[in-house]
Structure 1
Amino acid sequence: MNREIQQLIPSIVASEGAGVKIKRSLGQGPNGRHDPVLMLDEFNSDNAADYLAGFPAHPHRGFETVTYMLDGHMLHEDHLGNRGDLKSGDVQWMTAARGIVHSEMPQQLEGKMRGFQIWLNLPASEKMQPAAYRDIAAAEIPVVTLASGTTVKVIAGYLEHEQKTTTGAVSGKTTQPIYWDIHIAAGTTETFSVPAGHHLFLYPYEGQALVGKQKRAVNVSTAGLLSDGEHLVISAAGSETLRALLIGGKPIGEPIAQYGPFVMNTHEEIEQAINDYRSGALTAS
């Protein structure tokens, strides 16, 4: 069964951190999630005023953040003593779980800063596990070139191609996340095998995608939520190479209670998270 577009969520301009300008598609509100993905933010500017203030120290509990840099240099520091430089092509996979306080600050005064951050939910059984953090260098992420010339950077999940399977830099998680960066030349159509039952969406960040047998258009900076199925057909429309993210995972199917940087299952757990942050218990070992 081929996947088709079920819903389009165009990005809106927003501000996060200390005033960083972003575009937000998923996560605009409670009805804008795609379990297990809670949010997708895109940042893209060569004007330092749009990003220089960065994201000073702030808390998280109950989910994972995944930051993928296309261009630029950010520095991560957290209360656990982790310190990581995130440069072009790199990924940071941070599991906030029971609690983390971290900052993400630009390490450049000029030039392009471009990338994405998703929030990936955790099941109730994992929300209070110890926090974890991993920097993934660009060189550690497999890039597959298909017969058509299409390339797929397999950040998470696995890609089945030409009777082979390529496992991404991240695997083995409960939500079985998929995170691919796909480049398809103009006028080319590609068919991908994807796991049935996963919630997936396509997010073009350059060019326009035509999806499925219906060839429904998905414009740049728009999340196209996909129906279920085992195959995904994508064409690159127009004269521009399509560069798009395919993101998703196995749905958790649990209630979500969210207050800012805390994502739990009940309002009582949110109140506990707030109290733990205020008292310092959120980051206690």
Structure 2
Amino acid sequence: MKYIYLCLFLFSSFAFSQSKTEYNREKAIFPGCQSAEDLELCFENKVLQFIDSSLTKSIKTKIIRYSKKDTLDLSANLFFNEEGDLIKKMSGFQIYMDSLKNELNYLEDSFPKVLPVLDKYDNGVADYKNLLLGFKINRADSTIIPIKNYIPKDVPFSLVEQVPVYPGCAPSLLQEAARKCMSNAIGRHVLQNFNTNLASTLNLPSGVIRIYVGFKIDKKGKVVDILTRAPHPALEKEAKRVIKLLPQLESPGMQKGKAVNVPYGLPITFNIAETAAQRKERKRLKRKKRKE
């Protein structure tokens, strides 16, 4: 085997406000929230109201019909330009249901303009918000009710407000840096502990081989519920063994000040080199095919 490398989720960077910069307005403000004591909570509640009033009868019917749970999770990934307009090509609303994956795109067209972040010279600054919202599904009367200040049990790694802290990653890091630190640390752990000779002993074909690993970091910072999928049971077993070796994290993921479970996905990719015997056989078959 020549190579082993990891494909991890990469988090895009954007020229947004940094905590050390001085601002006359540090946060984007939703219309109507100017005098609110908690601007973040007001912003979230206004977005919740906007979505609730904008969902079509058809989509609500589909949610009630296809949802397996009584609570619906919906994420709003909102990117704003310097004027406070939503950047549609970068933003999106997502319901975690395959049947409704792309049916909320129309919400971007009517999303209201916000009051943008302002630097100390009153120049607008681009900003973004990741919101995880909840709706209660009442099947008895076929209604969907917004849940204010919603905190789900599981919050995706890409959305959790405060990511779990991996040993060696500074708790004071900005969130995107903290995500990157943790992803890199887990990647190094897998590279250092995975038995890279295993794949070559299983008589697997040369080329790219992928192992998909999923697990949760629970409310105590422990790795639990490990699931693996690979083209061979031995690879699944090895991937599970390596993930079990992950250390307990220094702190769990936090959402609105409360500990939450954080699901984490890790694709592991191998590149198995072609052996001399395989190369010889491939060339023989190629010559045979030409003669035919």
TM-score by length of 1: 0.22
Q: Which has the higher helix share?
A: 2
TM-score by length of 2: 0.22
Instruction: Specify the structure having the higher radius of gyration (Cα).
Output: 2
